[in-house]
A and B are shown apart, each in its own frame.
Chain A
Amino acid sequence: GAVVSQHPSRVICKSGTSVKIECRSLDFQATTMFWYRQFPKKSLMLMATSNEGSKATYEQGVEKDKFLINHASLTLSTLTVTSAHPEDSSFYICSAIARGYSNQPQHFGDGTRLSIL
């Protein structure tokens, strides 16, 4: 089955640090990848939609300069949290849609738990 790998699974770092999270589709090409954020005991909130080779589309209220998204290839998208602060601590999850398989569910990565001290 389609596998989405997310790395790292957990990050603990100091305030002011920039953190990069990778999302890879291991056995399929992903035309579109999504980045979600989830606070404890809350639902998933879409942050941005990433299409290969073009700029990401951010949801209202998401700071583009703080959450940098790059989708340089059909198998990799990255989310960089720049100058992270404690309020950025959250569970970040990516998902991907397989090219040519739009009737399949989005395939989710295992998530990255980000803790900013």
Chain B
Amino acid sequence: DTTVKQNPRYKLARVGKPVNLICSQTMNHDTMYWYQKKPNQAPKLLLFYYDKILNREADTFEKFQSSRPNNSFCSLYIGSAGLEYSAMYLCASSSWGGSYEQYFGPGTRLTVL
């Protein structure tokens, strides 16, 4: 099974409320990524986990948190959602030292009201 699953597929949130998005894969990939994609813009890397090590992009460092309780799961957490967080959030996974392949999930569309 080479699929990456994301839950939920659609999420409505109120301004100021927390948001938690979930991603899972069963390919035993050691690296998992979260991207933010807004309409007519390229996906933007937010952070990635290599094994248990979290790497967050400098310009989004304080806006997003993540946890990876085991190899298969990775979450993206927004402590206090703002209108600017409305976007599609894509999760991907890959294997260190393997091919160039990053497997992408279907995305979670977050709308903040």
Partners in one complex: no
Which residues of A does B touch, CB under 8 Å? none
Which residues of B does A touch, CB under 8 Å? none
